[in-house]
Amino acid sequence: MRLRNIPRADAVLDACPLVVKEPVACRGKWNTDIFQNEHPIHIEIGMGKGQFLLTLAAQNPQVNYIGIERYSSVLLRAVEKLEAPLDARNLRFLCIDATTLTDIFSPGEVRRIYLNFSDPWPKARHARRRLTSKEYFSRYDRVLASGGQVEFKTDNRGLFDFSVEQLETSDLWELTACTYDLHHDGLMNEGNVMTEYEEKFSSLGNPICKLIAGRKSDRHICI
């Protein structure tokens, strides 16, 4: 269950220098103005409590990471995991709705997008809100660099089947890798970083599904 009403959340996020307060003003300038380097930018949409992204940022100082979370009370949990003093030069957070992605990133500004255990929005009338819907993949197309990828993990088989179908019927996107049991797939599980949900669900015996998607036009691009 997501936390939405922690009274101190907004004040803590406002005081955290890693939380970007006016992300629209950074569009097209994330490398030059925020990170002050030319490293590739990877984003996680729906970052939850932050274990996945904080681990990646620590392991890969040559990559810039941006965590996106809609709810301030959830993002608070990630910020509270940061050790003082704050020395995460390749990490930033945004408290925004993912529908605004194209207002925040310019075309080609993002190299990789991570979607982990996203809200399944189970009712059919809410399908457009799923982060792996064609509507969202259209947004990803507008911010991803050539050769960019989308990686998606979930234990929800219904959502995963929906996601695969969206890609298989897409004129622009295609599956480049897919598994229905990540932790028993030696190739795809190599180097896997688990989220909090992933640890919980896998400990209960739930198989974790993962897919990687790329543009059909990028088939011959090496990244």
Decide if 18 contacts 35 (C-beta within 8 A): no
CA pair distance 178, 175, nearest whole angstrom: 7
Segment 37-53, tens digit of pLDDT: 999 999 999 998 899 99
Residue 98 carries which side chain, given as an amino acid letter?
Answer: A
Identify the three-state secondary structure at position 111.
strand
Q: Give the pLDDT score at 83.
A: 66
**87 catalytic residue (yes or no):** no
Q: Which residues contact 32 (CB under 8 A, 6 or more apart)?
A: none
Terminal alpha carbon distance of the chain: 37
* Integer Rg of the chain from CA: 17
Torsion angle of C-alpha atoms 161, 49, 195, 55, degrees rounded to 10: 130
Cis peptide before 107 (omega within 30 of 0): no
The low-confidence residues of the chain, meaning pLDDT below 50, are 1-2, 85, 222-223
> pTM of the entire structure?
0.93
Q: Give the pLDDT score at 88.
A: 78
> Which residue among the candidates 10, 33, 103, 119 is catalytic per the annotation?
119
In sign, the C-alpha dihedral spanning 23, 29, 30, 32 is negative
Decide if 38 contacts 2 (C-beta within 8 A): no
Q: Give the pLDDT score at 218.
A: 84
Residue reference for tokens 């990133």: 105
Segment 14-30, tens digit of pLDDT: 999 999 999 999 999 99
CA pair distance 78, 203, nearest whole angstrom: 22
